Amino acid sequence: MEQTKNKAAIDMEVGPDGRLYLLEYGKGWFSKNADAGITRIDYMAGNRPPKVDSLVVDKESGTLPLTISAQVKAKDPENDALTYVWKIGTQTQETKDPVLKYTIKQAGEYPVSVEVMDAEKASSKSSEVTVYAGNEQPQVDISVQGNKSFYFAGKPIQYQVKVVDRGDSVSTSNLFIGADFLQGNEDLASEGHQIVPPEIMGKNIMMSSDCKSCHKVNEKSIGPSFTQIAQRRKTELRPNNYIMDVILKGSSGKWGENVMPAHPTMKGGDAKQIAEFILSLASDKVKRKSLPPTGTVTPKPQITQKQNTYFAINASYTDLGAAGVKPLTGAKRVILKSNIIDAGQIKTMTGFTSKDSSGNKYLVFPAREGFLQVTKVDLTGIRSITLMGGSNGANANYTIEIRTNSATGSIIGQGELMVANNKPVSLAVPIQPSVNGDMQAVFIAVRTNGALSGNVLLKTVRFNP
């Protein structure tokens, strides 16, 4: 298996199923590796089944009639002709091409999947994508005034959240907005979990079911109020499990003579969210309040000093669902990075070399010339870029050029860096003002003027508002 690329394999074992399991640590060292995990290696004699890479459905929700287009990527090891057997809910359809067009005419949830089969009937199945027909997912957007790539310690960020819910009016009670700091790399931060409080999601699932026929939030009806249920059950060992069980299986004699009907067709996840909503009515925890749809948030200076810190503004809106379809949630996240970029965060460079010292990362200036690249930068409102670091017995003179889009792109700022032996390095390079809000790559090109002795070290690059 010399062609197999492993991610720091540290152990392997044959499982009880006869397959080989490989434990991979991940490419990073002493860090939370996103690529860490267990890989299963199968040995297959003779004809091998097709390999299914991905299934993509163009519309995962929409009003009726809903026409979807599904496409699967699959390859057969023996290059056999493939047949595709699609499943949409309880319906099946066969094609010779990896594309399906299908119109859903009745409201409901439709799991969509495909089984890919070769000429010898060996097959592999894709994962499922759930399509919600009869209700369209709300669209959420967050706009930020000013710079779109950086946050600045102690400086307010003005934002506005807009929601479009096709076919229904928008209620701010179903909108939740929060802002917080995240640590990690930018990709992990942008993929983070979107928070939808149980007060919203569970309540709206309940409102789209028949629960509201017998229960109210604070008043007794045919059955007890949800608040009464929460007060009675909140001290039990596993109150969520108890309430879920009652919702799914029904009960009688707990609150008088009336019978609580079962809901065998309800999904366990939906019952769980209803239970969380009910228990939140009697919770002693301080409920996290939503920010207003339009307002300002201010990053706290003491938190912004930590490395690899991002400031996220999250917004989620949950609709009320429709007949036969549960409520759907639309979400958006805006990620702003610190305007102070540590040397360890800069990955693309030429001529520079990295250096570790006492747990800190530095970049060593080139002996002749080189450049650094900072990606996804909005220069709106940025007046200068400051390079900070130190010298290790160095005396040097550098010309610094700030360029956009490439190392030979347009020069928007220029300065001269004079370095004296063992003195701090600091140079603020003024740049041309920008107001277009475009995301672009910024290149910091450096060139020595004369001889260089010792090392010049870069610690941070700061974008100044």
What ranges do the domains of the chain cover? Answer: 9-41, 51-133, 139-338, 341-464
Q: Does domain 341-464 bear CATH number 2.60.120.260?
A: yes
- pLDDT tens over the chain, length 465 residues: 888 888 899 999 999 999 999 999 988 777 778 889 999 998 888 999 999 999 999 999 999 999 999 999 999 999 999 999 999 999 999 999 999 999 999 999 999 999 999 999 999 999 999 999 999 999 999 999 999 999 998 999 999 999 999 878 899 999 999 998 887 666 545 554 456 776 677 887 887 788 888 888 888 888 899 888 988 888 888 888 889 999 999 888 888 888 889 998 888 888 888 888 888 888 777 677 899 999 999 998 765 455 668 899 999 999 988 888 889 999 999 999 999 999 988 989 999 999 887 778 899 999 899 999 999 999 999 999 999 998 877 788 999 999 999 999 999 999 999 988 778 889 999 999 888 889 999 999 999 987 777 789 999 999 999
Contact 242, 236 (CB under 8 A): yes
CATH code given to domain 51-133: 2.60.40.10
Chain-centre distance for alpha carbon 197? 17
pLDDT cut 70: percent of the chain above it:
95
Tell me how crowded residue 328 is: count the other CB atoms within 10 A of its CB.
Answer: 20
Query: With the CA atoms of 319, 323, 324 and 329 taken in that order, what torsion angle do they form, in degrees rounded to the nearest 10?
Result: -10
Residues 11-60: tens digit of each pLDDT: 999 999 999 999 999 887 777 788 899 999 988 889 999 999 999 999 99
Task: Return the CATH superfamily for domain 139-338.
Answer: Cytochrome c-like domain (1.10.760.10)
